[in-house]
Structures are given as C-alpha cells and as structure tokens.
Amino acid sequence: MTPSFSFALEHRDGEARAATFSTPHGSVLTPCFMPVGTQATVKTLTPAQLAETGAQMILANTYHLSLQPGATLVAEAGGLHQFMQWPQPILTDSGGFQVFSLAALRTIDDDGVTFREPKSGSLVRFTPEYAVAVQNALGADVIMAFDECPPYPAEREVVERAVVRTLQWAKRCQAAHARTDQALFGIVQGGIHADLRAECATALIALDLPGYAIGGVSVGEPQTLIERVVRVTAPLLPQDKPRYLMGVGTFREMAQAVAAGVDLFDCVLPTRLARHGAALVRDGDQYRRINLKNAAFRRDFTPLDPGCACYTCTRFVRAYLAHLVRTEEILGLTLLSIHNVHTLVAFARRMRTAILRGQFHAEFASYLHPELIQNER
C-alpha cells in the first residue's frame, strides 16, 4: 500500500469482509458499489445528486477520456476530480475491456494493442505505458494496470497467452507509474480456468501492488461460471489489500462475491436500466425490475419503492414517473437513475451492516445458494 492509502479490515463473517479503504480523496466503507461515470459523468446525474444517493466512489473510463476530451485537457483543468466536480474517490479503468469489446477492429501484439476508433476511423495505439500515462494525467485515486481480457468462450491457449501478456504488461505498468497519490491495481485474468487464475494471481501478488481486481468475468459466460471464478480467485488475493470485481453489479453477483471476500464492484446497470424506463424495486427479500412503460403504472399513485428513502421515492409516484418515461422527458431518466443507483449503493451498505453484525450469511441466504457451493466441493 502506498503512503497515501490504507486498508483496514474491521470484521469478517466467513470470507465476507467489512473494511475501510482510505484514499487521498476520502475513505470508502466496503463492501462498496461504484456507479460508472464513463465519460466523467454518471449519466443524467449532477455530482450533488450522485452524492445524495450515498455513492462513495465512482469509476471513469480511460479509453473514452483519452479520446475526448483528452488526458492533457483534464490535467490542465486540475485533474478529474476538479474537472467533473466530484470530490470523493475515483477509479479509472485501463481501457483493457474496451479493447476487448473492439475485437473486430483491433490487433494485439506483445507490446500493446492497435485498433481503429469506431467513430472517427482513426488508428489508436494503447500500450501499458500509454494507459498508465493517461491515468496519471487524469489523476484518479485508483488506476488499473493494462490487461488483455480474453473472450468467452476461448481456447485455453488463447487464455494462456492473455495471462502471459497481462503479467508482462502489469510489470510495465508498475515501472511506468509515476505518482504516489494513485494506487495501481493489478488485474487477475485466466478465463474460467482455476489453475490459470491461480498462476496469474500468484505472479501479480509478487509485484506487491496496492490492490487487486478480478477481471475477465461477465464477458458472456453463464452466471454460475462467473460465481465459480470469483469463489476460486478471491481467496487467493491478499487479505490486507482491497479486492475489486470488475463490471459486476447485480444483487446476486454482488452477494456471491462478497461471500467470497470481494470488497468493490462497478456496473453500468442502474443508469442503463433507467434509460430504458426500468426501475429496481424491492419485493420481500429480493428485488425485481419493473418497466414504467407498462400500462399498469399509468394510474399507480404509490411510490416507486415504498421502502426506499431516495429522493425519487420520497417525492414522486409511479404514475408521474410513467408519464415522464412515456413522454421521453429527461427528468424521468434522472429520477430513475437516482433511484437505481441508490438501490445498489444501499444494497452494498446492507451487506456491510450484516457483516459487522455477523449476520451476513443468514440475512443474504437467498442470494448465496449454498447448495451450489456444497455440490462443487
């Protein structure tokens, strides 16, 4: 851990952990869900609205920000925190997942990746050194090593090569990293292969990085395989450093990962659902999605989620939200985003509270499906 950071475990319930991750821009209480602000904004939300949801830390995207407005401009503005007026911790990804998603447009070699930018058609070159330089300029609290994210399904040989490159690139990222006020996290790859995950984790741990992420999940594989990879990988990572599961944010996925010892999550789910007129509402011990476009909500004068304390639910009824969605008013996207982000942030906070009480496995049993774990032993 660099001098600007600390990670203090407060309580454990099995492998589930409650901790405090301290950064130069404040402390993060874990488990923590991080909303995604791809282009230096969580879509439709002001920083004040975002803070009111309870969000502690957000994620921004190195690939997108390197193209527009450019890392140099952000640095001239005083860094990402000042540029977007978010005073709390920020994490930037390395661009590895975006490179993965451009599979038809990119060429990978041992030095880096060349790809054609979809909008402009121009050629772009990403290397580990470039990814770190961009993130150093952006100035987020946590930055990610550049990695190769293999697809699913993929031949074992393809995954093996991705692990080798990921490890080589992590070393180059560490050598290029120039700021002590940013924590560089390594990313464990290895696909669905437990031995490759262990190999990658062991080599990354030897670099003594401030934190570690589980990458290469939620890239098309079944949910049961995602959960298996997380259960295998998380316990391999250091107990005294934060663990981050990349790109995962459903209720079941988060609970399963917390049970395995994961601390941080990010996902575009809450704002993406809002843009499609959908909301996450509690239904007993579970949550379900409702679509405000449905006719049933036109004359529903109850709160969106009666048990929710967010700005949206304490002021507006479903009929009004349904009206906003049907008429494509921007306010509808904002109000649904506020609620959805608040709901996932609050779910992570509930898990933390349960861990501190020693009741996590009891209170979240419906998400954990212990029979699946037992069958795999």
Instruction: Please state, in angstroms and rounded to a whole number, the distance separating the CA atoms of residues 302 and 183.
Output: 45
Instruction: Please state, in angstroms and rounded to a whole number, the distance separating the CA atoms of residues 295 and 187.
Output: 45
Question: Which residues does the annotation mark as catalytic?
Answer: 93, 266
Instruction: Please state, in angstroms and rounded to a whole number, the distance separating the CA atoms of residues 87 and 67.
Output: 23
Return the bridge partners of 278, or none. 291
Closest of 301, 302, 296, 287 to residue 251, by C-alpha: 287
Q: What are the strands of the beta sheet with 243-245, ordered from one edge?
A: 32-35, 264-267, 243-245, 211-214, 183-188, 142-144, 90-93, 58-61
Instruction: Please state, in angstroms and rounded to a whole number, the distance separating the CA atoms of residues 248 and 27.
Output: 22
184, exposed or middle or buried, with CB in 10 Å at 0-12, 13-18, 19+?
A: buried
Instruction: Please state, in angstroms and rounded to a whole number, the distance separating the CA atoms of residues 147 and 161.
Output: 11
The residue with tokens 């150093």 is 136
CA distances from 222 to 91, 233, 258, 270 (A): 27, 17, 19, 21
Closest of 117, 121, 79, 73 to residue 95, by C-alpha: 117
Task: Return all residues near 59 (Cβ < 8 A) that are at least 6 apart.
Answer: 34, 35, 36, 37, 90, 91, 92, 93, 266
CA angle 52, 283, 43 (to 5 degrees): 35
